[in-house]
Amino acid sequence: MLVDSFLDYLRVERNYSSRTVQSYEDDLRQFEVYFTNLDAGLTWTAIDVDIVRQWVTSLMDESYTATSVNRKLSALRSFYRFLLLRGLLKRSPVQNLKGPKKKKPLPSFVKEQDMDRLLNDKPADDDFVGVRDRLIVETFYVTGMRLSELIGLDDKDVDMEARIVKVTGKRNKQRLIPFGDELHQDFAAYVRLRDVAVPVRSSGAFFVKPNGDRMYCQLVESVVKKRLSEVVTLKKCSPHVLRHTFATSLLNHNANLEVVKELLGHESLNTTEIYTHTTFEELKQIYKQAHPRA
């Protein structure tokens, strides 16, 4: 009866969709089955925090993800808030209960030898689109810029003499990223070819389509996916993977974390620190492969 009243409240007073209400019901019924199997005499108003903790543990043992468990706990919290509002109990058993922490997935990245194979060992492109596409991958890898930053790049943002590229990041924050001789040469070669192959352009965009228009997100993503798929079997081959690869490569070669943060345009050092976990994971793999007792 209590659950039915709560579901009616969600439908009528909160105007929740039938799908959402069904999700709440499934989670609440699952918990109800659990606690009645523990003790047939237990009721919703007699539940204490220990029983909920046991349920959470059982869910984790059954390989439910932290996201799924936290969703179920959220349903319980909403239900018990409803009971509190109706004066049917004085304290919620899940009021101060914290759910399991979500595991932060380590960012995917491409190994240096695979990037070398892609950029150095593949046959050289000689047509405009081929040269452009290779340079797009190289630019992501060498500068660590975001997809939106690469698409927004204009000729005026690339200082060939100083070997610095100016990008406009989140909240229109601008930053300067240095680049080396190799990218400088490839930038220059691309510009020479582009100015001949695409003499008329609709804007000052650095990377353009054959018709002179600025490139767009899906096109750049498809370019990166096609190129990376030639050398790796990652589930996701995206510009962001190349940004992760840039950061990981710097840290593997002893770059200062604060410097990497500035190059990536991160607001907080906490965001950058995830890459230290990536490099440590790689270190563990090398150790396992190399040490006879690993």
What DSSP line would sit under 263-277, residue for residue?
HHT-S-HHHHTHHHH
The pLDDT, as a whole number, for residue 179 is 95
Higher pLDDT, 144 or 294: 144
Place of tokens 């100015």: 195
The pLDDT, as a whole number, for residue 291 is 52
Domain 2-85 has CATH 1.10.150.130: yes
Rounded to whole angstroms, how far apart are CA atoms 66 and 69? 5
pLDDT band at 293 (very low <50, low <70, confident <90, very high): low
Helices marked H in 39-85 — which ranges?
49-61, 66-85
Q: Are 139 and 123 in contact (CB under 8 A)?
A: no
Rounded to whole angstroms, how far apart are CA atoms 248 and 279? 6
Q: Which of 115-119, 131-135, 140-144 has the lowest mean pLDDT?
A: 115-119
Percent pLDDT > 90 in the chain is 68
Active site residues per annotation: 146, 170, 240, 243, 266, 275
Rounded to whole angstroms, how far apart are CA atoms 272 and 258? 8
The pLDDT, as a whole number, for residue 126 is 83
On the question of pLDDT at 47 being above 80, the answer is yes
On the question of pLDDT at 279 being above 80, the answer is no
163-215 pLDDT, tens digit each? 999 999 988 899 999 999 999 999 999 999 999 999 999 999 999 999 999 99
Rounded to whole angstroms, how far apart are CA atoms 275 and 278? 5
* Average pLDDT for 56-64: 91
Looking at the structure, give the CATH architecture of the domain made up of residues 112-290.
Orthogonal Bundle (1.10)
The pLDDT, as a whole number, for residue 294 is 44
Rank 63-67, 134-138, 253-257, 270-274 by mean pLDDT and report only the highest.
134-138
Percent pLDDT > 70 in the chain is 93
DSSP codes, 124-183: PP-SHHHHHHHHHHHHHHHH---HHHHHT-BGGGEETTTTEEEEE-GGG-EEEEE--HHH
pLDDT band at 79 (very low <50, low <70, confident <90, very high): very high
Domain boundaries for CATH 1.10.150.130 within the chain:
2-85
Mean pLDDT estimate for the chain: 90
DSSP state for residue 237 in the 8-state scheme: -
**pTM given for the model:** 0.64
pLDDT band at 105 (very low <50, low <70, confident <90, very high): low
DSSP codes, 84-134: HHTTS-SS-TTTTPPPPPPPPPPPP---HHHHHIIIIISPPP-SHHHHHHH
Q: Which of 9-18, 50-59, 113-122, 150-159 has the lowest mean pLDDT?
A: 113-122
146-162 pLDDT, tens digit each? 999 999 999 999 999 99
Nearest one of 105, 104, 116 to 249, comparing CA atoms: 116
Domain boundaries for CATH 1.10.443.10 within the chain:
112-290
On the question of pLDDT at 244 being above 80, the answer is yes
Nearest one of 149, 137, 202 to 157, comparing CA atoms: 149
* Average pLDDT for 7-36: 94
Rg of the chain on CA atoms, in Å: 27
On the question of pLDDT at 31 being above 60, the answer is yes
Place of tokens 């509002």: 85
Taken in order 227, 229, 230, 232, is the CA torsion positive or negative?
A: positive
